[in-house]
Structure 1
Amino acid sequence: MKQVVWICWCWLSCITLGVQAKKTDNREVVNLNREWTYQRGDYPGAEQADYDDSGWEHVGLPHSFSIPYFMWKDFYTGYGWYRKTIVLDKADLKREIFLEFDGVFQVAEVYMNGRLAATHKGGYTGFNVRLTPYMRKGENQIAVRVDNSWRGDVAPRGGEHVFSGGIYRNVRLVKKNPVHIDWYGTFVTTPTLAAHKGRSSSVRVQTDVRNLTDQVGTYELQIQVLDENRRVVSGQRAVRRVEAQSMARFDLSTDEIEGVALWHPSHPHLYSVVCSLYKGRKLLDSEEVAFGFRWFEWTADKGFFLNGEHFFFRGANVHQDQAGWGDAVTEEAMRRDVRMMKEAGFDMIRGSHYPHAPAFAEACDREGMLFWSETPFWGTAGPKKDGSWTASAYPVKESDVAGFESNVLAQLEEMIRIHRNHPSVFVWSVSNEPFFTDGKTIPAVKALLKKMVDTAHRLDPTRMAAVGGAQRPLGDDRIDKIGDVAGYNGDGANIADFQQPGIPSVVTEYGSTLAERPGKYMAGWGDLGRDEGWKGREWRSGQAIWCGFDHGSIFGESMARLGIVDYFRLPKRSWYWYRNEYGHRLPPSWPQEGVSARLRLEASKTGGILADGTDDVQLVLTVLDKEGRELSNSPDVTLSVISGPGEFPTGRSITFSADSDIRIADGKAAMALRSYYAGRTVVEASSSGLESARVQLEFTGAPEYEEGKSVQVLSRPYVRFTPGHVESVLQVYGPDSPTFASSSSEGHSPGFAADGDRKTYWKPAESDASSYLTLDVERTLEVHAVKAQFPLETCQSFKVEFSVDNVEWVLVSDGVVTEGTSWEKTLAHPQKARFVRFSFPSEGNGQRSAVAEIEVHGKVGAR
């Protein structure tokens, strides 16, 4: 049947939200983060309503299998169960009931009253579950079985952070009319903004309306555009027919809105669209969607333009996990992260390397931070063995291929659907370093990247698609030009093949400076230090440091402590360097050793703290002398909830020690406290022989805490997780790892010494009389052996050195190669190293130094 659409224009005074409505059946959203039971492990029958979970732990969301977690390299993998009872009344049975999850890692089976309602695969994107067919009046039992085991058909198959399981983001119960606006069903764009150079624009609103009744109907959608002062600046309405058990898309555009306030990192003006769905005069559903007026342009030769002006962005890579709580952080904790990067003068965040929570993108919107949103198609160095998180980025088993590609594309679509209205999101990145894959899968990787780019274009024609971490492979298999934008990590900033690549380009990772807090007052330019590359190149769009925050890593300390802010969200001195350079704020006086006398305890806020899992308070304790000066002394200090509600990841108290994973350093320690009850809380900081300190907090938005009656949080002692089986065989590193050299000849880039192809090789420039080549395996290894291959034309002596930090070097071996020979050195006593340097101190007898391949054999070192 042909569908007819009526578009009705009217005066703004006639379309004020709800002016004609008799509100009888609108949307209701209920936060479901409180009062879950949880048990780690698999429990047959736990989905049933009458299952006895009285012995399970009482938890609130967000929650992780690993709580309390403090950056250890190992973590539990397997199943965990969550259960919650909800009560529905007679009126609810006439509505559609949904569960909305912002993120569950990584496979979730959702049950309602013992029946499977949905299964979702993918740990970083939200999903929507319809509960209506399974609900009943009175008590209803929700059960969620979560599995964070490695799977060959789910992305990511590899990565360098940790992969803890759990319902680690928010959950909501949503009640809707059977005819309603679909989950993330509205897409707002400003199609004429660029053409009018930001002076004015229309607003296009595409809204999916779902009819779950058995009757066809005619419905009206009204939209209003509100400015940041909540004034209506434009609107429109449309009427159309929606078939039974189907979905229809309303597509409306407003008149030109004059004098719009543009979104920009220096002035992040936000507007919103209110969508209201009517059946006659009855309001069925409504939602408000924030958006911004801004437009982007990427060029291959001049870089990036925002709102018509050149903009070289300075960014930071950000992982989501934080001390104690792991991945299960609150929305407020996400906002603090964004604010910390903003305060340091950064104006861009790369969501490394997976879709972040909606609240994180919203914080970028409000703080004025460009956001590079990335899918979890991700690879990493290490043995390409199925079953481990260093597996081939793309499946090596044919049985996994179809499921994996489907999953990657599904997560991309979910990411775009969830984040497409955020003005901060300026590109869709389809990958990070997918070249860390079994060599024979490279053609399939390229084909999948092309599908992803095409999918991104189809779903959102307003943004470009990037290939992140595209600095490998070299030669004919390059992946950097598959997308609209190329992101180069590590040495990709300096490899000759990737200079002025002919498409817009970004340094998506530079730096990687390993430091315990406090660290040194210095920048971490790393590979951008050469030739002052950190100042930018004319053709580059921007650059992002690796990384903003310390984070848990499967490779241990050498990958975990690369942030300019530590895991507890206390700045290292490098953060102050950037704040001075970019934000023009001088650093504080550094604390000195002295005589400790007392403690200071500060809270990020003290009142109006929501007790629903979306909010928390950051507590910072500082060691002082008797005059109140900050000291670098780091005694053991305990934070305790003296009265009222509240919990640390370890329970009602937490102790910091200089030699513990729960660390106090340079006279400071910090931890986030949350509550699932309202009430007044008193927290005390104490240390033997020192004057203690207290802070009073007010939690709200939940039932009042009653001493002795409310559920009391259990003590959760921190213990490093020990896996049941530890891989003991040596692992091979080197192929596709970053390489750096004193110089290179044309066509013989340093990267050819680690590309897995013995026919290609690095060769220094003719004028380089004392050449060297450095391999960075990007993690600290216990090195047992080093191997090298040299091209036939080479005959040269050299020395091999190791370093952990690329500053202090230790001589390991002297060597000599002659024509066509390989070289190998097995160490009698394994040594720690991240960097391996081959130095060729002189060029004699007309021979040239050159290296075809380097391999490092070792094990990832424990912290």
Structure 2
Amino acid sequence: MINILLRIKTFTFILLIVPAIDSFAQPQSGKKGSSPDGSVEQIVIASQLKPARTKINFNRSWKFQLGDQSGAEHSNFNDDQWQNIGLPHSFSIPYFMSPDFYVGYGWYRKHFVLPPGYQRKKLFLEFEAVFQQAEIFVNDKAVGEHKGGYTGFSIDISAAVREGDNVVAVRVNNIWNPGLAPRAGEHVFSGGIYRDVSLIITNPVHVDWYGTFIQTPVVSEKEAAVNIKTEVKNAGNTDQTIQIKTNIITPQGKVVATITSAKKIPAQTVGHIEQLSKPVLNPQLWDPDHPYLYKAVTTLLINNKITDEYQTPFGIRSIKWTADKGFFLNGKHLYLRGANVHQDHAGWGDAVTNAGFFRDVKMVKEAGFNFIRGSHYPHDPSFAEACDRLGVLLWSENPFWGIGGSDKTPEGYWNSSAYPTNDRDTAAFEASVKQQLQEMIRIYRNHPSIAIWSMSNEPFFTAPQTMQSTKKLLKNLVDLSHLLDPSRNAAIGGAQRPLDTNRIDKIGDVAGYNGDGGLISIFQNPGIPNMVSEYGSTLADRPGNYEPGWGDLSKDNGKAIHDWRSGQSLWCAFDHGSIAGSSMGKLGIIDYFRIPKRAWYWYRNEYSHIPPPEWPQNGIPAKLKLEADRLSAASDGTEDIKLNVTVLDINGKTISNNPPVELKVISGPGEFPTGSSIRFAEGSDIRIMDGRASIEYRSWYAGNTTIEASSPGLQSAHLQIQFTGSVPYKKGITPPSPERPYVRFSAERKAVQQTFGRNNPAFASSSQPQHPAGFAADGDLKTWWQPLETDSNAQWILDTEKRLGISHIKITFPGKDVYQYKIEIADSKDNWKVIADFMNNGESISEKQLELPKLPGSFMRISFKDPKIAKISEVEVTGEVLK
């Protein structure tokens, strides 16, 4: 039990949060709100109006059941047989990169207790995100809903709560919806309350949800101006005149500016107050090498009594994107070297702790990168906070995107035209895209790391008849972004298509070119600020090769820095689950378990000048080493501990052998994603590779935990870790963690033939200036690719960006001729297999079609004998996506 007592002269408000059931405990009959030993467990927070705002972690002690449960919103619903879980939580736990995942409903329930006096307060439930549709009930009443899986929201529950026991129930679904963004994607879309939840207690007059906006319109090393816009909500029934005082506090805790204002706010309205500080002299500017964070403390007073206090971390820095000289931070040129990041972690899926996000950003930073593209949706607020603290610039992206092969497929399962093809869905979809952009900007606008707002990723993967609507929506999003945040530019992410007059790259302020977009001639020095937002895509299991994997930038080796280019961002930092197939999720320089591949060490050596370690060699396994990234963590769902196992020989030297290894809880609280133990085996989804294995471990109980690493015939290793918090683990009373044996989820989905080519990345050994490689994959038969006549090995390559069982290839040439060529396919660009050889062809043709027995491959290459008779107008590749 914790007891935080904060005193003022008049009124004391006490909130008791009483979980109906401890995490992992079965409830005792008739004892709602009981702990496992039958006594009432109370987390007591005694709070008065100083501070007037209380934020309570709401992650513990939830009940969960997969599937739609009739009547689960009612207080008296019997959830005794439901799972006992803590947040963050995913429908898919335990998850290990399966392309399939459960799609449907899931329910969450939680009890909490309020004492008399709560009526004087306003109570809100703040969700950082739920995927993807949430309906919230409190005490049988529907109190709100939210659609959109990547942005947070706040629900006012003040009118629904009551003295004594309260029940919050959340109905969640992750069902594909044609009117919700995104309609397509290549990662996975597991449902759940997969980010943190908080209970906020304020007075009726308070700073609104994410209600401050801090800008630094004047920035230099000598002085800076700080502009603060604050939204104050008067949820009371009487008009109020408030005083607002804002202190600007340095990283060392010194107050460098104080601004005071007054404003009358009518009842049931929101007042907008703008304050400009006096010059902050000799400011400490935020940059990747010195990520200084200031803090604005906003205090609201009524008749000189504090009614709210709200803190906003921020940084003082200036950002400028230019078309001719690249990117500037605080007036100094900075070339952006970055990586794309998805949010998916081994075992836990999307349900990642704040500590896990911090580790991710730290690994990117340690490799020498200064930039992350948050692909392809708003990431967890703690991810942006980690970028702030560690000094990494962040490209924050709205979830409006498309993927190749979706044009002609039936709608559904995130494999559809980026923009709706049915008129009945357009209004809802556009509202969804705009809503999530608004929420993203509101939530993240005070993070100094965020350098730009991106409207999209590859929205050109849309049905041809919707292209004009897509362009109009992008323009509207850019305008909305400028309105919501004039201090940042708006980017069009994935703007490398189309190649005709429908170009989308100049709709925004900055263009992000993915894949071959960094090479296509029309996007070279395009006259607007730009960067290569994706390059690489090197498929590799750990350990992989010690090389950068320039991939799409191989033509100039990735090292050529053009004055007009702001930077380049690798695809990608981490392996992740993908609906495009397990292999297509293995394009990171760090594997799914957060162990670096050798490519990561290459970048660390190149950018941070840290030599790589000695690579482990095969040996005779003798013992195991068990380590942790930290030995203590909070037991509230915000932190975890990353455990690492290494195989050693008799002399204690690391070796690359992969014996099966089991991690097991010997004593104390906590759980693996699979329960009280987890087994790593070579070739399984839960893998040990190159002599190493790793997993994240978390607990919702406080106490000391002992974990054993064992393998048949090897010396075991033990490690003790500690979880801190208010609810202690009690041996013999607290039940053990629930067992969740891993079984790869497999959905019974009808195989769909998809057609690739139009707008997919295309590469060539050479190209004539007016006939680039992309013209053979632009959907226009009037354009074509043609190599230089001096090209002795004329080749054209299509990247379908999926692993397919290829059943049909159609090649259209711009005119009849005797084309002599061969066709090859490959999983990567270095293992080509000839599937058709027409090098000795003597027939004049304008088209060639091949029927194939579902041959596996991701790339297709056409090589010509004579470059003078080498032209391709269009290529189509049809096949099923392989799991």
TM category (shorter chain) comes to over 0.9
What's the counterpart of residue 99 of structure 2? Answer: 73
1:739 aligns with 2:762: yes
Deviation at 1:817, TM superposition (A): 8.4
Residues 1:795 and 1:106: Cα distance change in structure 2 (over 3 Å): same
Within the alignment, does 1:857 sit opposite 2:878 as a pair?
Answer: yes
Q: Quick check: 79-88 or 848-857, which moved more?
A: 848-857
Distance 1:250 1:819 in 2: 75
Verify: 1:503 aligned to 2:528, yes or no.
yes
Give 1:651's aligned amino acid: G
- 1:173 corresponds to 2:194: no
Q: CA deviation at 1:378?
A: 1.0
Q: Quick one: which of 704, 707, 712 aligns to 2:736?
A: 712
Q: 2:360 aligns with which of 316, 325, 337?
A: 337
- The answer on whether the counterparts of 2:819 and 2:845 sit within 8 Å (CA) in structure 1 is no
Q: Kindly, what percent of the aligned residue pairs are identical?
A: 51
Please point out which of 702, 719, 728 is paired with 2:751: 728
Q: Deviations over 1:651-691 (max 9, x none)?
A: 01100000210000010000000000000110110111111
- What code does the residue aligned with 1:722 have? S
Q: 2:590–2:597: 8 Å Cα contact kept in structure 1?
A: yes
Alpha-carbon spacing, 1:272–1:781, altered in 2? closer, same or farther (3 Å): same
Aligned equivalent of 2:78, options 49, 52, 55: 52
SS at match of 2:820: strand
CA distance in 1, matches of 2:234, 2:284: 36
Residue of structure 2 in register with 1:834 after alignment: 858
SS at match of 1:133: coil
Structure 2 residue aligned with 1:427, among 435, 452, 457? Answer: 452
Tell me if 1:476 matches 2:501.
yes
Question: 1:256: which partner in 2?
Answer: 279
Q: d(CA) in 1 for partners of 2:191 and 2:590?
A: 25
Work out whether residues 679 and 699 of structure 1, in 8 Å CA contact, stay in contact via their aligned partners in 2.
yes
> Partners of 1:383 and 1:374 in 2: how far apart?
21
Q: 1:28 to 1:789 in 2, by over 3 A?
A: same
C-alpha displacement of 1:558: 2.9
Aligned to 2:677: 653
2:219 paired with 1:189:
no
Aligned to 1:228: 251
Q: How does 1:545-560 map to 2 (within 5 A)?
A: 545-560=570-585
Q: How far apart in 2 are the matches of 1:852 and 1:780?
A: 24
SS in 1 for 2:616: coil
Equivalent in the alignment of 1:277:
300
Maintained 8 Å contact 1:198/1:294 = no
Q: How many residues align?
A: 836
User: Map of 1:14-29 to 2, 5 A cutoff?
Assistant: 23=49, 26-29=52-55
CA contact (8 A) 1:610 1:616 kept: yes
Indicate if the aligned counterparts of 1:25 and 1:177 stay in contact, CA closer than 8 A. no
Q: Is the 8 A contact 1:509 1:546 kept in 2?
A: yes
* Aligned match for 2:595, one of 530, 555, 570: 570
2-structure distance, mates of 1:445, 1:377: 10
Deviation at 1:793, TM superposition (A): 5.8
User: In the TM superposition, what whole-angstrom CA distance separates every residue of 1:131-177 from its partner, at most 9, and x where no partner exists?
Assistant: 01111001110000000010001000000000000000000000110
Amino acid at match of 1:411: Q
Cα separation, 2, equivalents of 1:794 and 1:765: 18
Which of 636, 654, 658 aligns to 2:660? It is 636
Kept in 1: contact 2:406–2:461 (CA 8 A): no
CA contact (8 A) 2:96 2:346 kept: yes
Aligned to 1:92: 118
| d(CA) in 1 for partners of 2:775, 2:285 | 46
Residue 34 (1) aligns with residue 34 (2): no
Partner of 1:457: 482
Q: Give the superposition deviation at 1:752.
A: 1.2
Look up the match of 2:433: 408
- Aligned counterparts, 1:488-567, within 5 A: 488-567=513-592
Rounded Cα–Cα distance in structure 2 between residues aligned with 1:658 and 1:616: 25
Alignment partners' CA distance in 2, 1:111 and 1:855: 50
In the aligned structure 2, how far is the partner of 1:793 from the partner of 1:542? Answer: 43
Aligned counterpart for 1:690 among listed residues 695, 711, 714? 714
- Are residue 367 (structure 1) and residue 390 (structure 2) matched? yes
Aligned counterpart for 2:604 among listed residues 533, 554, 579: 579
Question: Residue 790 of structure 1: SS of its match in structure 2?
Answer: strand
Listed as ranges, the matches of 1:765-784 within 5 Å are 765-784=788-807
Task: Supply the AA of the counterpart residue of 2:313.
Answer: A
The letter for the 1-side match of 2:485 is D
Deviation digits for residues 201-227 of structure 1 (CA, Å, limit 9, x no counterpart): 121110000001111110011000000
Distance 2:865 2:387 in 1: 50
CA contact (8 A) 1:645 1:677 kept: yes
How many angstroms apart in 2 are the aligned matches of 1:594 and 1:551? Answer: 30
After TM superposition, give the deviation of residue 251 of structure 1 in Å.
0.5
Distance 1:363 1:24 in 2: 29
CA distance in 2, matches of 1:751, 1:819: 24
What is the CA–CA distance in structure 2 between the aligned matches of 1:311 and 1:676, rounded to whole Å?
A: 43
SS in 1 for 2:221: coil
- CA shift, 1:701, in A, is 1.5
1:143 to 163, 169, 189: 169
Quick check: 323-332 or 274-283, which moved more? 274-283
1:761 is the counterpart of 2:784: yes
Q: Distance in 2 between matches of 1:293 and 1:684?
A: 47
Distance 2:9 2:588 in 1: 52
Mapped pair 1:625 → 2:646: no
Change (3 A) 1:219 1:818: farther
User: After superposition, where does 1:101-250 map in structure 2 within 5 Å?
Assistant: 101-193=127-219, 197-250=220-273
Distance 1:817 1:485 in 2: 49
Structure 1: 5+ residue runs without aligned partners? 1-17
Match of 1:324 among 334, 344, 347: 347
State the Cα distance separating 1:848 from its structure 2 match.
3.0
Residue 733 of structure 1 and its aligned partner are, at CA, apart by: 1.4
Q: What letter corresponds to residue 222 of structure 1 in structure 2?
A: K
1:11 equivalent in structure 2: none
Counterpart residue type for residue 380 of structure 1:
I
* Partners of 1:221 and 1:735 in 2: CA distance: 57
**Cα distance in 2 for residues equivalent to 1:598 and 1:754:** 54
Q: 1:794 to 1:296 in 2, by over 3 A?
A: farther
On the 8 A contact 1:103/1:168 being kept in 2, the answer is yes
Deviations for 1:741-765, whole angstroms, at most 9, x for unmatched residues?
A: 1111222111111111111111112
What amino acid is aligned across from residue 873 of structure 2 in structure 1? A
Partners of 1:711 and 1:327 in 2: how far apart?
26
Paired amino acid for 1:861:
L
Stretch moving more, 706-715 or 447-456: 706-715
Instruction: State the 1:785 CA deviation.
Output: 2.0
Q: Determine if contact 1:783/1:856 at 8 Å carries over to the other structure.
A: yes
TM-score by length of 1: 0.95
TM-score using structure 2 length: 0.93
CA RMSD of aligned residues (A): 1.5
CA contact (8 A) 1:24 1:282 kept: no
CA distance in 1, matches of 2:115, 2:472: 51
Which position in structure 1 is the counterpart of 2:686? 662
- CA–CA separation in structure 2 for the residues paired with 1:443 and 1:767: 40
